[in-house]
Amino acid sequence: MNLKHRLFKLPLGMQKLIRAVSLCAGKNKVKAYLVGGIVRDLILKKANFDLDIVVEADAIEFAKILSSYLGVDFRRHYNFKTATVLSLPYKIDLASARREFYPYSGSLPRIELSNLRDDLGRRDFSINAMALSLNKGSFAKLIDYFGGFSDLNKGVIRILHEDSFLEDPTRLFRAIRFKERFNFKFSPKTSRFLKQAVKKKALSFVNEHRLRDELVLILSEKEPLKCIRTLNKSIGFDFLAVSELEKSDFLFFQRLRSAVLWFSRKFPSQRKLEKWIIYLMGLFKNTPLPKLRQVLAKFGFRRGERIRLLSSKRIRVLDKLSAKASPSKIHKLLDPFSFETIIFFYALSSCKLARKNIEDFFCKHSKVRLKIKGGMLAHLGLLPQAMYAKVLKKILYKKIDGKITSKSDEFREAKRHLRSN
């Protein structure tokens, strides 16, 4: 099967880079192949902008040649004999064809240079173990040693060998992610080996930081709730110190999903939500705060992520949102929180007034801005300057409440406050 016509439907910038790889490979007598998810998604006619290239040569040396041809920089990764060529807005990840050995379950692999067949044979699933030739005479020819094309047509997720989940238990997450993303099913052997790996507590051998990264990926899927259901059924959330989810938990996740969709449709110009954080808040909904602090530290979440996840426990704010309050008071209550936390509160509350106050915050109050700045006040010589931030905040609240409307009103208020101090 030749997929040249599919390659020609990629963005022109990507086509240019693929042609550059092919040209440099031919001139230097190097065999080069496009591999991984982009090959799978070309067949499925899905967008994928990851350019993963395997060469039957030294990938770092080939990166030097390619980056020089393109006039761009590249990064070396000596431990894994890989390199990244930086050609904005895309990048090319280059790897030497290799075979892998796992010293123990959950470890990072040791590598040994080899050929394309061995390289594809070390991958997770058959649908990710296909390649496209970028070589003269066979350009865009599909190379499929392990039946990935057939599995794509049948809608099957199939591991390549029975120890796959034990060698790298993070493949348990990836199996579920691909199954739900494509609405596929597990092959009988894959399902059996998955259950065996879970029974042997394979995830306990994996570094928590790697588990965190896989969890973020799975909760970032287009339909994370489907992944959560399958995770709960097949693996569970013991690794997060979260009990088995029940019907009430999934009803809440439905509310979360509706809240995320509502925000995305209502406010398309706002920054995109990091929805994985919102769904993780849902998973931790019943986790006590001290325990949550321990889990977040253990898994190495970044400071900003920890702050948002911990703030989801400050649910007393919902009591105040459930009472009538001025727009400025609503702003004071919600402005310290991230949009992700506010969306979590929106889903959590069953009070119509609280939800209305949150809607008003997003629709009206969060968009209010002052026309004057501290620099303008300094230019007028208004003192004391140490009071600027506090005074501007008071003026903002008045503007949110509709008590001032114009720039001149703002200046007048600033002068009054500063002269009275």
Average pLDDT estimate for 330-357: 96
Tokens 């395997």 locate to 54
Same fold, 4-154 and 238-367: no
Average pLDDT estimate for 106-135: 90
Question: How many residues would you count in the chain?
Answer: 421
pLDDT at 377: 74
pLDDT at 391: 84
Residue 1 has pLDDT above 90, yes or no: no
Residue 384 has pLDDT above 70, yes or no: yes
3-state secondary structure of 34: strand
More reliable by pLDDT, 88 or 16: 16
Confirm if 98 and 122 have CB atoms less than 8 A apart. Answer: yes
pLDDT at 249: 96
Average pLDDT estimate for 223-236: 96
At 386, the pLDDT band (50, 70, 90 cuts) reads confident
- Parse the chain into domains and list their residue ranges: 4-154, 238-367, 374-419
Can you tell me the distance from the alpha carbon of 281 to that of 398, in angstroms, rounded to the nearest whole number?
34
At 106, the pLDDT band (50, 70, 90 cuts) reads low
Can you tell me the distance from the alpha carbon of 66 to that of 85, in angstroms, rounded to the nearest whole number?
8
At 100, the pLDDT band (50, 70, 90 cuts) reads confident
Residue 407 has pLDDT above 80, yes or no: yes
Residue 80 has pLDDT above 80, yes or no: no
Domain 4-154 sits in CATH 1.10.340.30: no
Q: What is the pTM of this model?
A: 0.89
- Per-residue pLDDT tens for 162-171? 999 998 999 9
**DSSP letters along 6-30, please?**
HHTTS-HHHHHHHHHHHHHHHHTT-
| CB-based contacts of 417, cutoff 8 Å, min separation 6 | 387, 391, 394, 395
Residue 382 has pLDDT above 70, yes or no: no
Q: What is the distance, to the nearest Å, from the Cα of residue 82 to the centroid of all Cα atoms in its chain?
A: 23
Q: Are strands 185-186 and 156-157 parallel, antiparallel or unpaired?
A: parallel
Q: Of the given ranges (55-69, 271-285, 403-417), which has the lowest mean pLDDT?
A: 403-417
At 421, the pLDDT band (50, 70, 90 cuts) reads low
Can you tell me the distance from the alpha carbon of 372 to that of 145, in angstroms, rounded to the nearest whole number?
66
Biggest CA–CA distance in the chain, Å, is 83
Tokens 């909760």 locate to 219
**Burial call 167-201: b when 16+ CB within 10 Å, e when fewer:** bbbbbbbbbbbbbbebebebbeebeebbeebbeee
At 378, the pLDDT band (50, 70, 90 cuts) reads confident
- Neighbouring C-alpha atoms within 13 Å toward the C-beta of 252: 21
Domain 238-367 sits in CATH 1.10.3090.10: yes
At 105, the pLDDT band (50, 70, 90 cuts) reads low
Residue 243 token pair = 């009990």
Confirm if 338 and 311 have CB atoms less than 8 A apart. Answer: yes
Can you tell me the distance from the alpha carbon of 182 to that of 128, in angstroms, rounded to the nearest whole number?
13
Rg (CA), the chain: 27
Average pLDDT estimate for 214-224: 96
Q: What mean pLDDT, rounded, does the chain reach?
A: 92
At 215, the pLDDT band (50, 70, 90 cuts) reads very high
Average pLDDT estimate for 104-120: 82
- Per-residue pLDDT tens for 296-319? 999 999 999 999 999 999 999 999
Residue among 61, 76, 52, 189 at smallest CA distance from 132: 52
What is the helix (H) or strand (E) element at residue 112, kind and residue range?
A: strand 110-113
pLDDT at 414: 80
Strands (E) located in 120-205: 131-133, 142-143, 156-157, 185-186
